[in-house]
DNA sequence: GTCGCAATTCAACGGTCGTTGATTTCTGGT
DNA sequence: ACCAGAAATCAACGACCGTTGAATTGCGAC
């Protein structure tokens, strides 16, 4: 069946490399384990987060990620068991750091300035990465089949679950999803579409503009009676 | 250079088909032009819109689109010049039908119910396709490199450009981008993430919930003085 | 009735992707 | 000093992708 079965010709020696002394540390890749203490795993995670953010899940190839990290593509399999595992670790896990963020939001002031704290906290965090954290999530999520579930769980777990339960008012889940729609939309316009003037507005301006509506979703009147 | 140059062996006859009479219309593919009046182009467009919506640009393969349309993959090249052309026609062109939509929104009532008309019109349109129109756009846009530009132009051209100019108030572009953030976020939560209870709420409820905030963005007080 | 042309199918190509197995090199424990 | 094992590179594999060119068939003009 296999067309090539024979001598397994090796084309390795085309480099004509007579580097018997391995002094050169720049690009001369030795063969085996690396000498110093270089964290290949962390380099891969960083490169993966960048490329998933720019290209999405399908667009970011394992080869490109490994090249940016300066290592061999095979290391993705060695450290993460494959592209899926790398994606899960790089994009779906770390970048939220839930306890710290939630403390700031929930215990940072009275409930009638909650919307303000939510907007300020997330825009500040998203801006720190140049929008990369947000776009990585959206771009990658949009290309995988478990997109909806992943996004839903992430928002519920880190963003709104705790907030909704803290509200202790009527229609907590409805208020939470409305709140999510405004925050996700803000991220889409500011980072993914880069729609002006909202994309370049500074953080206090964005807070002043968006927080009132968020606060209305959280504690205001929903006038559901007009609909039902 | 070419490894196989010889007899060009044909494996066509593995089907063992003795269908001398081509009565069967179900799966028996003849070779040349099709007999009836079947619109291959339209079938490809429909299938492409579905698959781009489900899988995004990279995930939806030409072969899969052609299979769903019931034709040969080569027809994508024949009719659209390649995958890019099919994507442009199927996703980036038709589904908005701008004149009709904009007439409904702009000339459908007074300016202080503009937010209501915007929400109702777009949610109605998006719901008609099961969210496919919206998700096709977002999913595909997220995977292409001209993502930001395409989304920006689309929103500006069909959604907000005319609306902003119709406002004739202060900070028209800022109001337009705020408006866009709420509408895009609504689509993300309702269709892409399918976040409950907003995903299953009926149209009047969604309108009643979201329209007030949209109206505030359009004609309300923006309290920019607090920020600058 | 015939013939040019458009529509369609098919097999194949070159390229790229994610992954693997063999091999080589460094590290840490004893 | 040595050795088991982890870390890393490399070449190759099989699969699949988008695209192409040749062959085949029906339609419509004359």
Instruction: Indicate the residue of A143, A152, A209 with minimum beta-carbon distance to B142.
Output: A143
Question: Which of residues 111 through 170 in chain A touch B, CB cutoff 8 A?
Answer: 138-139, 141-143, 145, 147-148, 151-152, 155-156
Domains of chain B with CATH codes: 39-91 (1.10.10.60), 94-222 (1.10.357.10)
A55 in contact with chain B, both atoms CB, cutoff 8 A: yes
A94 in contact with chain B, both atoms CB, cutoff 8 A: no
Lowest average pLDDT, out of A81-90, A137-146, B46-55, goes to A137-146
Band of pLDDT at residue A18, cut at 50, 70 and 90: very low
Band of pLDDT at residue A94, cut at 50, 70 and 90: low
Q: What is the mean pLDDT of chain A?
A: 77
Band of pLDDT at residue A71, cut at 50, 70 and 90: very high
Band of pLDDT at residue A30, cut at 50, 70 and 90: low
Task: Yes or no: say if B182 and A187 are a contact pair by the CB < 8 Å rule.
Answer: no
pLDDT at B23: 39
Q: Pick the residue with more confidence: B143 or A211?
A: A211
pLDDT at A138: 80
- Number of residues assigned to chain A: 228
Question: What does the pLDDT average to over A220-228?
Answer: 69
Task: Yes or no: say if B71 and B79 are a contact pair by the CB < 8 Å rule.
Answer: no
Phi-psi map region of B8: left, alpha, beta (phi>0 left; psi -120 to 50 alpha):
left
Q: Which residues of chain B have pLDDT under 50?
A: 1-28, 227-228
Band of pLDDT at residue A37, cut at 50, 70 and 90: low
For residues B84 and B74, give the distance between their C-alpha atoms in angstroms, rounded to a whole number.
Answer: 14
Statement: residue A63 has pLDDT above 60: yes
Statement: residue A209 has pLDDT above 90: yes
Statement: residue A125 has pLDDT above 90: no
Angle at A30 between CA A29 and CA A36, to 5 degrees: 95
Q: Pick the residue with more confidence: B143 or A127?
A: A127
Band of pLDDT at residue A88, cut at 50, 70 and 90: confident
Residues in Cβ contact with B145 at an 8 Å cutoff, skipping those fewer than 6 apart: A55, A59
Lowest average pLDDT, out of A55-69, A104-118, A160-174, goes to A160-174
Cβ separation B204–A227 shorter than 8 A: yes
Cβ A6 to strand C below 7 Å:
no
Task: Yes or no: say if A118 and A186 are a contact pair by the CB < 8 Å rule.
Answer: no
Q: Report residue B48: phi and psi, to 5°.
A: -65, -40
pLDDT at B104: 78
């Amino acid at each position: 069946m296999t067309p090539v079965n024979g001598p397994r010709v090796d084309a390795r020696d085309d480099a004509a490399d007579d580097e018997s002394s391995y002094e050169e540390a720049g690009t001369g890749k030795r063969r085996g384990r690396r000498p110093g203490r270089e964290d290949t795993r962390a380099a891969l995670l960083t490169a993966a987060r960048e490329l998933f953010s720019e290209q999405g899940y399908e667009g970011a190839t394992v080869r490109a990620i490994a090249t940016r990290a300066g290592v061999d593509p095979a290391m993705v399999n060695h450290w993460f068991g494959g592209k899926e595992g790398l994606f899960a670790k790089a994009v779906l896990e770390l970048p939220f750091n839930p306890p710290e963020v939630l403390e700031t939001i929930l215990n940072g002031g009275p409930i009638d300035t909650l919307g303000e704290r939510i907007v300020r906290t997330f825009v500040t965090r998203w801006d720190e990465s140049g929008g990369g954290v947000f776009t990585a999530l959206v771009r990658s999520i949009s290309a995988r089949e478990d997109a909806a579930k992943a996004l839903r769980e992430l928002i519920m777990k880190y963003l709104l679950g705790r907030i909704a339960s803290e509200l202790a008012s009527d229609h907590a889940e409805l208020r939470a999803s409305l709140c999510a729609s405004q925050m996700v939309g803000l991220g889409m316009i500011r980072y993914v579409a880069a729609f002006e003037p909202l994309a370049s507005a500074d953080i206090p301006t964005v807070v002043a503009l968006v927080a009132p509506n968020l606060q209305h979703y959280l504690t205001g009147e929903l006038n559901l009676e007009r609909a039902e």
